[in-house]
Amino acid sequence: MKVLLIDNGTTLLEKLKTLIPGEESIIRFDNLKDILTDSFDLVILSGGSAYYLVENEAKFSEELKFLRNTTKPVIGICFGFELIVKAFGGEIKKLENIDKGEKEIEILDNTLYKKPIIKVYESHGWGVQKLPENFDILAKSVVGPEIIKHKTQPIYGFQFHPENFVDELEGDEIFLQLFSNLA
């Protein structure tokens, strides 16, 4: 499987590369227009801590356009999750406090993962204010949606970081389960 990893300025790039089975090609978000995305089987959108999407939407216009037009499977992580929400007409909001650390999330779709509650690592200052109409919530926490899926396309968003604390938490397991389902 050919995987395109779009780096949105994550500090966890090496951990994410280690988590992804097989080989991936990595590009920065601002080089997306130079890549033929049709030559990849799956696209992963990394997290990112360098920019706020609300204030920098123009910087990510190519990525937003890609999301609206792709037929490829996509998994967005944290900032990638927020890009997916924004691309399809949803709204994000700044949280009062940064949501950081180990959190429990409730799995609402047991075809995604068999355990009803899992522990994951969160590190984000933004959350969903309004989910796009064409998305379902597959997992949630007290903060809001944690895993979303487009109703008709293979586009998924993870609000948490499955690449962090893989030995202690279960975010990596649900990510790898979804990855193998899309492979």
Has 55 been annotated as catalytic? no
CA distance to 28, 136, 141, per residue, from 62 (Å): 11, 24, 30
Q: Is there a catalytic annotation at residue 102?
A: no
From the list 147, 173, 150, the residue with the least C-alpha distance to 160 is: 147
**Residues 90-102, mean pLDDT to the nearest whole number:** 88
Q: Which of 78, 82, 122, 170 is catalytic?
A: 78
Go through the domains of the chain in sequence order and give each one's CATH number: 3-182 (3.40.50.880)
DSSP type of residue 59: G
Residue recorded with tokens 């202690």: 168
Structure tokens at 84: 């997916």
For residue 109, what are the CA distances in angstroms to 6, 31, 66, 68, 127?
27, 35, 27, 25, 21
What band does 65 get if pLDDT is binned at 50, 70 and 90? very high
pLDDT band at 60 (very low <50, low <70, confident <90, very high): confident
pLDDT-based confidence at 50, cuts 50/70/90? low
161 is catalytic: yes
Listed in sequence order, the residues at least 6 apart from 11 whose beta carbon sits closer than 8 Å to its beta carbon are 49
Q: Which of 63, 122, 161, 170 is catalytic?
A: 161
Higher-pLDDT residue of 110, 55: 110
Catalytic, out of 63, 146, 163, 170: 163
- For the beta sheet containing 155-158, the strands, ordered from the edge strand earlier in sequence to the opposite edge, are 24-28, 3-7, 42-45, 74-77, 155-158, 145-150, 135-140, 91-107, 117-130
